[in-house]
Amino acid sequence: MFLSACGTTAAQRRASEFGQQFQTASATAMNCVQQVYEKPENAEVRRRTPLRIEELTDFHIRDRSRPRPNDGEMLATWDLDMQECYKQTRHQLEPVGQYILGWHDETTRQYNEARTQLLQGAVSWGEYNRRRQEIYTASNESLRQAQAQFNQELEAAHASEMRSRQIAAGIALILLGAAAGAAAGYAGGGYYPPTQNVSGYRRSDGTYVAPYIRTRPDSNPCNNFSSRC
């Protein structure tokens, strides 16, 4: 059996592990943010800007009111809690790699910036909600691009490992052929038949044949490696 057929590659294992890590990080982020939103003191936040983007209504988008002065402490705590959720998520995403981390950091920066403008009274709740929608849409596209880059990296690593396995399989078969030839020569009283190297090739059905050694073609069937003369 060729080495390339043995087990999965490191890239495949990495893809599986990182996929699980990303799902875990996403679940952690949602649970953390949900807990923040469900705090009794954040009732005004829930009324003005729902947790999920799909829950935004015309009321939320057209809301021209700005945070009240006496809501400042509550909103500041809400902002700090949200930042802590992002930090927890980033920590879990660190093993996934630079592409996903880059996406997370940029998305986090945009959300933090939007909340800061809201807390400073620079924008209304409606403007903040529209900005949330924009960030959400752009974030989804950025995530697709990051995943594509990550997949390209894994595919290249997978292909490289498969090529290395094929080369290793060819070397193993060459050594095996040489050993078989030596054994045949020894069994024949020390006679070692002339040999030639055959390069690896691919059959018409797509099957890859690794490099190997064979006896040179001649009219004597008794000097073949497989001979029982």
Would you put residue 141 in left (φ > 0), alpha (ψ -120 to 50) or beta?
A: alpha
CA 11 from chain center: how many Å? 9
Q: What is the pLDDT of residues 179-214, one digit of tens each?
A: 444 444 444 444 444 556 667 677 777 777 666 556
Q: What is the pLDDT of residues 125-183, one digit of tens each?
A: 999 999 999 999 999 999 888 888 878 887 887 777 777 767 666 655 555 554 444 44
The mean of the pLDDT values for the chain is 78
pTM score, two decimals?
Answer: 0.65
Q: What is the pLDDT of residue 20?
A: 83
* Torsion, Cα of 180, 185, 188, 191 (10° steps): 160
Confidence of residue 109 (pLDDT cuts 50, 70, 90): very high
Taking residues 87-113, report their average pLDDT.
89
Residue 167 CB coordination number (10 Å): 15
**DSSP class of residue 55?**
G
Residue 63 CB coordination number (10 Å): 19
Instruction: Pick 24 or 11 by higher pLDDT.
Output: 24
Q: What is the pLDDT of residue 77?
A: 94
Please determine, for residue 2, whether its predicted confidence score (pLDDT) is greater than 50: no
Residue 98 has, within 13 A of its CA and on its CB side, a CA count of 3
